[in-house]
Structure 1
Amino acid sequence: MKETPKVNLGLNIPDDALENEQCFGGVLLPKEIKDPERFLEISEKANECRVKRLEDSVKLKLRTPSVLYTLRAEPSEADRLLKSVKCKVVEL
């Protein structure tokens, strides 16, 4: 089977995203993070952190200039993380 070449069509998509198959139809997909400490590291370069509270969990979304990172956490863990986040927090 012949492999299809990956082409960046002038979109603002990092080359490593194309290599790692995180791109679907020219749209960069969000990356899910499992490690809370890594989430805090990324928050240093993020523009904002959006908080979506669900019934049994909280979804935290970090918007950086090129990628959207998400983390799903228990409400108590999310509150602890939000105290340490180094960017603007927006409750949805």
Structure 2
Amino acid sequence: MNDLKKNENRKKNFIGSIKESFSGRKFRSGAYVTATSAVVIAIVIIINMIVSQLGLQADLTSKKLYTLSDETIDFVKDIKEDITIYM
């Protein structure tokens, strides 16, 4: 009987320590940081999905290194066969 009470007291102490750790200041600040990070990541993903659906593209290099000229676009449109490009 005495062992049963010891086990119950251990369980209560264990549960009490868990409750105490979840109600502490560190837990609240950690939860706030986690929630804020999740919201920011969700916003970035949503913006990325919207921009990809709109088909917006921008070459932000100073010399427009990744932009095709009109002549290149016209040349590629006239090609009738498949071309393999190796890099």
User: Common fold, TM-score beyond 0.5?
Assistant: no
Larger RCO (alpha carbons 8 Å, 6+ apart): 1
TM-score by length of 1: 0.20
- Pick the structure with more helix per residue: 2
- Pick the structure with more strand per residue: 1
